[in-house]
Structure 1
Amino acid sequence: TALAATMKELDLASYLKEEQKTEIQSFLLLQASVRDQKKLLVENGKLKTDIEQLKVQLKEKQRRRTAKALFSPAPPPTPTDSAPSTPVNQPAPPAGATAAGPKNPPPPSSHDRRDRQSRRKRGERKVRPSSDGLSLGAEPNIDVSRLNLRVGRVLGVRRHPLAEAMSVQEVDVGEDAPRTVVSKLGEKTPLEELQGGLAVLLCNIKACKVRGVVSQARLLCCSVSDDCSELLAPPPGSTPGDRVTCLNYPGEPDRELQSKERVWELVQPDLQVDSKGVANYKGCGFEVKGKGLCRAPSLTNCIIR
């Protein structure tokens, strides 16, 4: 009986050792899995940062390419549009002759007649040089002063009926009726917290349909990524309708931004939030005159879109 008891004790001890080994192995596997998950999270964060930097670089290249195309000099006039030159073999006029040409000008050539007839059929007119010398060298002024930025209060907010990632806001911008705005704020943005709050809106864009809902303005958001964004906040004491300006860029905004001029696309890459959380354009802060600067609620060193 003593031998049997001893054998049972040995079997129990070996069983306990096997259980301990199994538990230790499970713990080590779990620990390795946690390490791998942390490593993946760090790598994903780096990839997101690299992607955002590449997006900013791509936007900057597109902006420069568009600006180069807009401001490139016009092509030289065609020979048909230029003034006729003096034939080489034509003799010089006598000393007593006046500068005025003959009373009866020579008839137009067959080439000129054909060119004029083809223009009439197409409904075109011959381009004449402008008499205003200043207009030839004038370039359109593209900066933040052309944007009509206004303070607005969010009266209501709801999910877009046809797009889960989008939301629809009713915003008071100091006009007779609130404006409807369609925005992509990210799925993690709590919509109920937006209601009643103040925001900054771009009000002179052309109204357009977004998935069946007409959007009449654009909410400015501070954004690190598509999933991490928040509304740009005006200074305390602002009221709906207050204009947001930059001190170094005075001027009245456009009545409506023309899509062919791509003003928003050219200005947007220079809209940033600095390390202090202040919104700025090329280093000049956004302000509501007499009330203070516009800021991001919590984000820093990010873009404004």
Structure 2
Amino acid sequence: MTSTRYSSLALLAIIACNSVASFGGVAHAFSLGPFPATTSTMAPSVRRFSVLHASEADETAAEKPKKQAPPPPPPIDVSKLDIRVGLIEKCWEHEEADKLFCEEINIGEDEPRSIASGLKAHYTSEEMTGKKVLVLANLKSRKMVGFPSHGMVLCAVKEGESEDGSEDIVELLSPPEGAVPGDRIVCAGFEGEPATENQVIKKKMLNTIFPDLKVNSEGVAVYKDVPLAIGEGDEASVVTSGSLKDVIIS
């Protein structure tokens, strides 16, 4: 009886060992031991699943579009300045500043611009009134000794060249004949929309652009030797100074 029981147990043990041997690949594949299963030790069905899954993952990664580099920022050039023809409708002396005029200038908007200019040493208020000038219009409004100034009148400037050598010689730039308030001054080869008032300040555009604004030897206002004008090509009419040549614009 006892020997028969032992024989039965032995037979069961042999069957169990054979079963483990048959499914050893699967058992090893899902082992919780410290070493993960490799594809070579997996059962065929598990190995096929793993290879198929990896192949699909590779195809998904290959199909994912690459990130494109952002476009370069637009260049900072004279096209970023909104230079308009203006007509000085009214000019008077600032009550609290010795060198400032207060002006109302029509630049083609619904209301004239209030602008303060340090031109009192170079012109009288009567000479200023009724003149056509160039106005840099995309500047933020700021107080000039209490007067709200929204823009800047552009001039040709010869530095330190007065008779006593202490003062600059300053002349208003003259728009082309036939120009009307609101006409925009352009420069061939530098096309584009003007920057916003905030962009002009934030990116310090005046520091970048103004060194290349000059009056050339022919008395024509230029940017990088290209005339400032109204219109293009043969129809272009250029901006000029009065008598100053080879000087800066300010």
Letter of the 1:250 counterpart: E
TM-score by length of 2: 0.68
The 8 Å contact of residues 98 and 120 in structure 2, kept in 1 or not, is answered as no
Q: Structure 1 residues 294, 133: CA separation in 2 closer, same or farther (over 3 Å shift)?
A: same
1:243 aligns with: 184
Q: Structure 1 residues 192, 93: CA separation in 2 closer, same or farther (over 3 Å shift)?
A: farther
Task: Provide the C-alpha distance between the structure 2 equivalents of 1:184 and 1:279, rounded to a whole number of angstroms.
Answer: 20
Task: Provide the C-alpha distance between the structure 1 equivalents of 2:248 and 2:37, rounded to a whole number of angstroms.
Answer: 69
Q: What secondary structure does 2:70 align onto?
A: helix
Aligned residues: 185
The unaligned stretches of length 5 or more in structure 1 are 1-90, 101-129
Aligned positions of 1:143-222 closer than 5 A: 143-185=77-119, 187-222=121-156
Query: What do residues 261-304 of structure 1 show as CA deviations (whole Å, max 9, x unaligned)?
Result: 00112101110000100000000100011461000011111000
Aligned positions of 1:271-282 closer than 5 A: 271-282=213-224
Deviation at 1:244, TM superposition (A): 0.3
Task: Identify the match of residue 134 of structure 1 among 52, 55, 70.
Answer: 70
Letter of the 1:299 counterpart: L
Task: Provide the C-alpha distance between the structure 2 equivalents of 1:134 and 1:152, rounded to a whole number of angstroms.
Answer: 39
Task: Provide the C-alpha distance between the structure 1 equivalents of 2:213 and 2:110, rounded to a whole number of angstroms.
Answer: 30
1:261 aligns with: 203
Query: What do residues 145-179 of structure 1 show as CA deviations (whole Å, max 9, x unaligned)?
Result: 01111000011111112111111111000111100
Task: Provide the C-alpha distance between the structure 2 equivalents of 1:148 and 1:94, rounded to a whole number of angstroms.
Answer: 70
Letter of the 2:79 counterpart: S
Task: Identify the match of residue 227 of structure 1 among 150, 160, 168.
Answer: 168
The 8 Å contact of residues 238 and 291 in structure 1, kept in 2 or not, is answered as no
Task: Identify the match of residue 285 of structure 1 among 217, 227, 232.
Answer: 227
The 8 Å contact of residues 188 and 227 in structure 1, kept in 2 or not, is answered as no
2:245 aligns with: 300
Give the number of the structure whose alpha-carbon radius of gyration is greater.
2
The unaligned stretches of length 5 or more in structure 2 are 1-34, 40-49, 58-65, 160-166
Task: Provide the C-alpha distance between the structure 2 equivalents of 1:172 and 1:201, rounded to a whole number of angstroms.
Answer: 10
Give 1 or 2: higher helix fraction. 1
Task: Provide the C-alpha distance between the structure 1 equivalents of 2:101 and 2:193, rounded to a whole number of angstroms.
Answer: 31
Q: What secondary structure does 1:139 align onto?
A: coil
The 8 Å contact of residues 186 and 228 in structure 1, kept in 2 or not, is answered as no
Task: Provide the C-alpha distance between the structure 2 equivalents of 1:285 and 1:263, rounded to a whole number of angstroms.
Answer: 20
Q: What secondary structure does 1:268 align onto?
A: helix
Task: Provide the C-alpha distance between the structure 1 equivalents of 2:220 and 2:202, rounded to a whole number of angstroms.
Answer: 31
Range moving further from structure 2, 253-262 or 169-178: 253-262
Q: Once superposed, what is the RMSD of the aligned Cα atoms? A: 2.4
Deviation at 1:256, TM superposition (A): 2.3
Deviation at 1:188, TM superposition (A): 3.2
Amino-acid identity (%): 34
Letter of the 2:195 counterpart: D
Deviation at 1:131, TM superposition (A): 4.1
TM-score by length of 1: 0.56
Q: What secondary structure does 1:180 align onto?
A: strand
Letter of the 1:279 counterpart: A
